[in-house]
Chains A and B, each alone.
Chain A
Amino acid sequence: MWAATWISGPCPVEGFGNDDGYAVAWVQVDDGPRLQALVAGANAPAPGTRGWVNRHLVGDESIDVFSARVGTSE
């Protein structure tokens, strides 16, 4: 994960973050383009945190979701 931010306020997509806010990250997957992803969980991981990306359906659209592997960083 390249970097993430914690945004104050409700997440526009249900089921992410908590009452205070939610996190969005830019994720580097191998040599591909950097992805923008919602972060699973209730914090913004530090740059370098490793994890995986899944697709999540929002109505007719799908967005990327980053899940951090606990205790990992660059």
Chain B
Amino acid sequence: MNSKVASDRQSWPKADFSRVPYEVFTDANIYRLENERIFRGPVWNYLCHEVELPQVGSFVTTWVGDTQVVVTRAEDESIHAFENSCAHRGAQLVTAVRGHAKSLTCPYHLWSYSLKGELTGVPLLKGLKGKGGMPASFQKADHGLNVLKVQTHGGLIFGSFHDDPPDLKTFLGPHSLSQIDRLLVQRKPKVLGYLRQRIPGNWKLYNENVRDPYHGSLLHQFQVSFGLQQPTMKGGIKLDTELKNTWNHSILSDTDKDNQALVAQAYEGTGKFNPNMKMADPSLINVPLDLGDGYKTTILSIFPTLIVAQVDNTYAIRHLRPKGTDGVELHITYLGFESDTPEQTHDKLLTANFIGPSGYISLEDGEALRLVQQGIRQRRPGGHEVLEMGGVGPIQDTDYLSQEISIRGFWQYYHQIMGLGNDQPLGETQ
């Protein structure tokens, strides 16, 4: 390819990441690189929560990028993670999503593994009557499952394929650490259920979505119609030093009720503002916030695939499981707390109507991402997003919500970890 054509397709058109080339959402080569450089790169991938492994022998299957991973609790209570693929001929080892086992046995040739992923049994290892069997050089110790490094923080279990992953707490950053304490440690969580949403959009579109408070009160009209979220609310974003992890928060104050004129102004020309709507049964929107610290919404987004979210009185761990360039499973672990009264548990089952694939405040994200993926698939190379809301230039914390700055932070880190240049066509990145 001559250099002129290449320069027309520069990977990142602006140094402040206020443009994002659409190829990052559609190019199969980039997707392949993401699996190598991000999901098997120097990051900590969320796997599952410790309460999902309540006893010795508990296991859960999860995903790290394209790779299915089994997470176990071994006899000494330690937690282990390994690829769900037999060391012998590669067969998927565990087919259940979760369960309990003393050891793991491949159905094909019955090779068996300990809960730590060590190969413990090979049928006919020595052959029969002096014939067959494995050669003398075969050592079981050399044929364990492909394990990930595992670390935990605040009950969250993380795994890394990388030889030299960063320090976990440094990787998470101070805002993540304090929010994990606030949401997952000060009360002991319990799982109330799972929700799964197959969104026909690239996994990074969801990362943009959760770093985008600009859309919150525009796409999600339910919140605005019933006063849960308004563009006039106080709030802001905080980033970690690498700009990859974002904490968005909003606080609804008493004065917001008097801000209807300002809200109407914000919606001018959209035909969307619907201030006089009433619910037939408002119990859903009247559930009190049981943390009592005034935060209406807090979204903690941790690179690459974890979101710990409080939306009103709902608490959930959202995990992104990429499915090729054009799809992602949004896997939601919906939480209550051991200290909840029966009324509080009922309230959480009620407010579950806010979130997930049928959520009044979230079902639209699935549709928005589908529409973006549909739209960008048709674009010629050279097309790009425009991220200028809230300002261009430096990527920094804000004390306002109408911004896309935190999305630019995500892209800066993505660009760095992917090793993308500024003068090379993305589709030809090697």
A is bound by B? no
Partner-B contacts on A (CB < 8 A):
none
Partner-A contacts on B (CB < 8 A):
none
